[in-house]
């Protein structure tokens, strides 16, 4: 009687393997498509972005983010053109529920690229691409930060590419 059950067990095992392979294939495709969507978002963010702001004392300044592949540089530049803050590190995009996030990590910061040191922090911001080509970034909502890093919504504009 056992010899009659063996083909049934083998058939069940074969069906189960096919189902598992189907599930794994679907999961791999989902990961591949979501990874390509994230890499498309990161490539869409490639370039130099800036926003003009005014501090509490009425002084104008610019924030500039430049993204190249999976790296970023960030500068706060005064109206006089002097860099007040410089930061660099890794950047990636992800998804948190219905929101797209940009994550800045492995950050070195200071007055300049030669005067920077590692900081033990990661910044996660929610973003959306505006219909007019702006990059809308909600910063400093990821955790409590010091008084100088207040939550903000910034509309970054992409710098025009120089003609070659």
pLDDT tens digits, 100-156: 999 999 999 999 989 999 998 899 999 998 888 899 998 887 878 877 788 888 899
Tell me phi and psi for residue 114, to 5 degrees: -80, -15
Query: Are 87 and 106 a contacting pair, CB within 8 Å?
Result: no
Query: Would you kindly state where each structural domain of the chain is located, as residue ranges?
Result: 1-45, 46-158
Residue 129 corresponds to which tokens in the numbers above?
């691409």
What pTM does this model have? 0.71
CATH architecture designation of domain 46-158: Beta Barrel (2.40)
- Cα–Cα distance, 42 to 65 (Å, whole number): 13
- Cα–Cα distance, 107 to 123 (Å, whole number): 9
- Which of 85, 95, 33, 89 has the alpha carbon at shortest distance from 66? 89
Tell me phi and psi for residue 154, to 5 degrees: -115, 140
């Amino acid at each position: 009687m056992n010899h009659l059950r063996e083909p049934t067990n083998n058939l069940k095992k074969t069906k189960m393997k096919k189902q598992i392979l189907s599930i794994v294939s679907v999961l791999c495709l989902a990961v591949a498509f979501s990874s390509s969507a994230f890499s498309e978002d990161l490539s869409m963010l490639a370039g130099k972005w800036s926003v003009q702001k005014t501090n509490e004392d009425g002084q104008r300044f610019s924030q500039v983010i430049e993204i190249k592949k999976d790296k970023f540089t960030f500068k706060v530049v005064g109206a006089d053109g002097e860099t007040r803050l410089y930061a660099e590190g890794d950047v990636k995009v992800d998804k948190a529920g219905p929101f797209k996030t940009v994550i800045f990590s492995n950050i070195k910061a200071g007055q300049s690229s030669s005067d920077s040191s590692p900081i033990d922090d990661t910044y996660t911001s929610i973003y959306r691409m505006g219909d007019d080509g702006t990059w809308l970034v909600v910063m400093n909502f990821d955790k409590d930060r010091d008084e100088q890093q207040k939550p903000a919504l910034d509309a970054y504009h992409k710098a025009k590419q120089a003609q070659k």
